[in-house]
Structure formats: C-alpha cells, structure tokens
Amino acid sequence: MQLFWRRGSLLTVAVLTLGAAGVAGGMWIASRRPPAAGTAASRRATAPGARTAAPAAQPAQTEQRITIPPRSTFLAAIGAFHLDAALARQLVAAARPMYNLARVQAGHQLDLVRTLAGVPEALGYQIDAGHTLWLRAPASAAATAPWSASIEAIPFVTRLVGVAGTVETSLFQAVEQAGEHDMLAVDLANIFGWDLDFYTDTRPGDIFRVLVEKRFRHGQFAGYGQIVAAEYVNAGHPYEALRFHDRGGFLAYYQPNGRPMKREFLRSPLKFDARISSGFSYHRWQPILKYYRPHLGTDFAAPTGTPVQALGAGVVIQAGRYGEDGNMVRLRHPGGYETAYLHLSRILVHVGERVSQGQRIGLVGMTGLATGPNLHFAIQHDGKFLNFETLRKSLPPGAPVPASLRPQFDALRSRYLPELERLQPAPAVATAAAPPARNR
Ligand SMILES: [Zn+2]
C-alpha cells in the first residue's frame, strides 16, 4: 500500500535524459559527416536484385566533373576545364546575383557541360547536398549576351541497398564499420526496440542485416529513406522485421509471422484479475500513517504468493528491499516507460536481467508499509506517474496483419527475406574470425 517509491526516481530521469542527449548528439555529428567512401564501397554488399527506384540522371556526353581541391579558388579550380580567362570572369559576374563564387568550398563539385562541338554550355556548382548553382550560356549566339544563373534543387535518386555488419562493441560501431551513418543504427534500434535494448543487450558477434532505401543526389548520399526489411541476430537469436501497411494504410513493422514488432503492455501486472483495493490519487488517506498523501499507483488485493508478471519486456533496474516499499522490482521498458511492483513476498529476478512480457518477476506479499497482502503497481513515462487504471483502458491492441492483407504480406515476405538472408556481414575486425553460425 506504499504510496509511491521515491528512491532512484530522480536519478533515473537524469540518466534517461542523458541517454537521449547522447543519441541525439551522435546523430547530429553523423549527419554532418559523410562515410568514408573506401570503407563503404568495400564493405557494403548490394542486395541481389536491388532496384533503382528512379533512373539515374544520364549525364550529358560532354559533361566534365571536377572536385574543388583544398585551398583552391573558383578560378583556380576551373583551370582544369581550360576555359578562357574572359569567360571565367563572365561566369563569376553572372553568378553574383545568386551566389558568390568566391565562397566555393573544397570537396564540392563543378560540372561543365559542353555542346557536341565543345563549346561551354552550362556550369554547375554543387552548393550543398540538395542544391546546385547552374550558370547557362545565352541562347543567342551573341558573344556579349550574359549567362544566366539559377539555384536548383537536385532530384533524389533512391536505391534499395543491402547492408550487413557484425557488432564488436555496439550497433553504432557495427553500422559505421559497414560504411553507413549513425542514423541507420537509430532506425534499426527503433524497429527492434520492443524486443531488444541496444544499450545493454548487444553482444560481440551479433549481426545486423538491412534492406534500406538510400537517397542520392548526383551520386552523393543524401539521407536514408525507409527500412524495408531488417534482421538483428542477438546472441544467436534472430529477430526479423518487415515494413508493411496496416489496415489504415499506415506503415509499420511486423515480424515474419505477421505480428507487430511494436507490442503494447499487458493489461495487468497479475496473471489473474484482481480487485483494485486502492486507486491512483493525488490525495489519499493513508490508513497506517494516518494522513493524506498522494497514491501514485494502483493496489491490487491478491493472496500472498500470487504470481506477478512483467507488464512488458524490459530490464530489471531495481530488485531488493526498499523500506516502506518492501520488496520491490522495478523495470525499464522501451519508449521511456518504467514499471514498479511493490510489497512482494518474493523477488524472482535480479538487477540487470532482461525480462520478457508476462514473465513471472515476483510473488504478491505484504512487505514494507502494507495493511494486507497486495501488489502496489506503478507506471511512469519519462519520469511522470501515469494512472494505470485509465491507461489500460486505452492501450491499443498490437494488431497483427489482418487476414485480408495476408496474401500481400506473404508476397512481400517471400520477396525480401531471401534477399536479406543473402547479405554477408563482414566479420568483426577485432577477432577477424568467421561470423558466428546462425541459429536457425
Ligand atoms: Zn499502494
């Protein structure tokens, strides 16, 4: 009947906040750092039958491309095109209303398009991943007519690419080593986050395989589209996910058996329906202490020894005796949720242990401040206590692929799973051993 547990609550909020900041920081850095081209090319396996969603723009036959060298200027860089000096100055003047070519950056590209006769017709400067400055020769033959300038968006080319890697230390490390960006690791962690905690569950030798849409502009990586199919093999146990639309047309990820990756919480911390002896309240009379204080949880009256189950998959972050709370188990779940189970007569898990949804984690008791055997259950989201009695009425069921869409889903599965399975991850560099045998 304890009102709410206090120990560790603030600490946990702080840790979660730091964790989130850490991930966001990583993403931010990664988004500004292109992968090393050599690594990417040598390690990335392209899925057999990988398609190009849009045809690559066909460069003009006469197009010539240079990459601006370090510490170069625009005029020095276009020296490689062997343009006459007057035209070069004319280009700088033509660009000025739109863009100052004194600001060109090393590593960016210049494209010169010539007519079949070799006369310069257009010059493109890639300003950033999404924009090109185009300078175009006048349509009239008059040599004095000015060139025109415009800044144009570069269209995406989307390709479905297969990527595989082996974990040495973390998913981030494995994804980077496969020549990809941190963002892909974040996307994978979101898909598998209901089954796995990538901060604690990753093991050296774990494997990821993914079919992902990659966007390119002028041959340069410009971001990820959606993950189409993915697999993560954790300590020999494979988890697979396929992108599919649900009844409402929304895209979601499903296991190959059609069940959703994202699973909701169970509707009760007890296997069997139990009477609620005291509800969630900010103002409740405490019968033992004899004063009002908030009761930020739900008490279920149940006989001592009744099994208590984990509301959802998670990690045990506390398991032990905590004063008024008695024997308590506290779990951390994906998505910023935590649940706590108080007054237990027995604790069946230990700190750091992973528990699955519905797993027995303890037995009902009356340890700590309790007038009789009961389970005090509390749930928090991002540190804020939620009223479970209201919450559980609104928990949407994790709906599987509906029967009417099953043929489509099965077709998708038989198309992508074999493609995924063919991806060969590079072995971990540290061990340089063959990837661990797959447990199938
Ligand atoms: Zn209580």
Of 63, 154, 78, nearest to 116 by C-alpha is 63
- Per-residue pLDDT for 393 more than 80? no
Ligand 1 centroid–CA 3 distance in Å is: 5
Most confident of 208-212, 266-270, 378-382, 431-435: 208-212
Ligand 1 centroid–CA 118 distance in Å is: 84
Q: How confident is the model at residue 250 (pLDDT cuts 50, 70, 90)?
A: low
Range scoring the smallest mean pLDDT among 48-52, 161-165, 197-201, 246-250: 48-52
Alpha-helical regions (H) of 234-333: none
Ligand 1 centroid–CA 295 distance in Å is: 6
Ligand 1 centroid–CA 5 distance in Å is: 10
CB of 202 within 8 A of CB of 162?
A: no
- Per-residue pLDDT for 218 more than 80? no
- Per-residue pLDDT for 208 more than 60? yes
- Per-residue pLDDT for 7 more than 60? no
Q: One-letter amino acid identity for 99?
A: Y
Q: How confident is the model at residue 31 (pLDDT cuts 50, 70, 90)?
A: very low
Ligand 1 centroid–CA 358 distance in Å is: 21
CB of 354 within 8 A of CB of 334?
A: no
- Per-residue pLDDT for 26 more than 60? no
Ligand 1 centroid–CA 70 distance in Å is: 67
Ligand 1 centroid–CA 300 distance in Å is: 8
Cα–Cα distance, 277 to 293 (Å, whole number)? 16
CB of 260 within 8 A of CB of 253?
A: yes
Q: What percent of the chain has pLDDT over 90?
A: 43
Ligand 1 centroid–CA 195 distance in Å is: 30
First to last CA, the chain: 47
Ligand 1 centroid–CA 285 distance in Å is: 11
- Per-residue pLDDT for 299 more than 80? yes
Ligand 1 centroid–CA 271 distance in Å is: 19
How much is the pTM?
A: 0.46
| Cβ within 8 Å of residue 382, ≥6 positions away | 13, 16, 336
Ligand 1 centroid–CA 286 distance in Å is: 9
Average pLDDT, the chain: 79
- Per-residue pLDDT for 8 more than 60? no
CB of 256 within 8 A of CB of 242?
A: yes
CA dihedral 80, 85, 91, 96 (to 10 degrees): 110
**Region 181-200: what's the mean pLDDT?**
83
Cα–Cα distance, 325 to 343 (Å, whole number)? 6
- Per-residue pLDDT for 175 more than 70? yes
Range scoring the smallest mean pLDDT among 97-101, 248-252, 296-300, 373-377: 248-252
Strand partners, 160: 213
Residue with tokens 């060139």: 147
Ligand 1 centroid–CA 371 distance in Å is: 10
Q: Is 370 exposed, middle or buried (0-12, 13-18, 19+ CB in 10 A)?
A: buried
CA dihedral 251, 255, 257, 260 (to 10 degrees): -60
Ligand 1 centroid–CA 387 distance in Å is: 12
Residue with tokens 């279920």: 300
Ligand 1 centroid–CA 1 distance in Å is: 3
Ligand 1 centroid–CA 324 distance in Å is: 10
Q: CB neighbours (10 Å) of residue 422? A: 14
Ligand 1 centroid–CA 386 distance in Å is: 14
Ligand 1 centroid–CA 293 distance in Å is: 11
**Region 100-126: what's the mean pLDDT?**
89
**Region 286-315: what's the mean pLDDT?**
85
Segment 133-156, tens digit of pLDDT: 999 998 776 666 789 999 988 778
E strands in 175-234: 207-217, 220-234
Q: CB neighbours (10 Å) of residue 355? A: 21
Angle at 185 between CA 180 and CA 189, to 5 degrees: 160
Q: How confident is the model at residue 47 (pLDDT cuts 50, 70, 90)?
A: very low
Ligand 1 centroid–CA 11 distance in Å is: 22
Range scoring the smallest mean pLDDT among 167-176, 369-378, 390-399: 390-399
Ligand 1 centroid–CA 158 distance in Å is: 55
Range scoring the smallest mean pLDDT among 47-51, 71-75, 351-355: 47-51
Range scoring the smallest mean pLDDT among 72-76, 160-164, 212-216, 431-435: 431-435
Ligand 1 centroid–CA 281 distance in Å is: 10
Ligand 1 centroid–CA 397 distance in Å is: 27
Q: How confident is the model at residue 431 (pLDDT cuts 50, 70, 90)?
A: very low
Strand pairing category for 327-332 and 148-153? unpaired
Ligand 1 centroid–CA 319 distance in Å is: 18
